[in-house]
Amino acid sequence: MLQNSPMYAYLPATDVARARDFYERRLGFRPKEETAGGVVYEFAGGTACFLYPTQNAGTSRASQAFWQVENIDREVAELKSRGIGLANFDMEGERDANGVVTAGGAKVAWINDTEGNILALVQPIEQRHHSLVSRIAGRLRERGLRPRRFGPTAVASSALGALALGAFAIGALAIGRLAVGRASIARLHVGELGVGKVRWLRHGAARR
């Protein structure tokens, strides 16, 4: 199946020498291999792209590829220090002062290379759910504590523990009511039950 095979990005270039100057001198990429008039660049996680010559370069108005980054602000600052500004597209979402757009659960920025290719930087962001567990975890973090993640086993154990605690509470309540009931009977007037009945309640119940 294709999904079990590596997948690589194409970067078309009208002028490969010009494109290589951009990627290697300005971005600092190191070429892995030159082949078929183009060049291969390798990245993290076994990924790679092939920069190749074609007269169709720059005809696509969509992103050719993207890098998934851990800190997009740091990467954008690095690009700007190399004289590479961000491309500005009319996109939905919240745009910060640096031009990074937050939308759809990610922070995204775009750049253009010398061949008209659109490349993106994407930083996934954590979705914060305002649940009770999240609020408790937030309070613990504020106090310098690191709460453990709740996996399926922990959740199941907590649920069983809660059920056991609930069953114990119900049992305790029932025993308490029984004790109250017996105490009430023991306090009944002798004339209502008779002396023998009162003695049974006091001594017979104690033998059980």
DSSP 51-99: EEE-TTTT---SEEEEEE-S-HHHHHHHHHHTT-PPB----SSEE-TTS
Q: Which of 17-31, 141-155, 177-191 has the lowest mean pLDDT?
A: 177-191
Helix, strand, or coil here: 115? coil
pLDDT of 36 > 50? The answer is yes
Q: What is the pLDDT of residues 37-69, one digit of tens each?
A: 999 999 999 999 999 999 999 999 999 999 999
- What pLDDT shows up at residue 194? 45
- What pLDDT shows up at residue 126? 77
Over residues 1-18, mean pLDDT: 95
pLDDT of 92 > 90? The answer is no
3-state DSSP helix/strand/coil % of the chain, to nearest 5: 45, 25, 35
Spatial contact of 129 and 123, defined as CB atoms under 8 Å apart? no
Spell out the CATH class of 2-124. alpha beta
Spatial contact of 27 and 84, defined as CB atoms under 8 Å apart? yes
Q: Provide the sign of the torsion angle of the four alpha carbons 201, 203, 206, 208, taken in this order.
A: negative
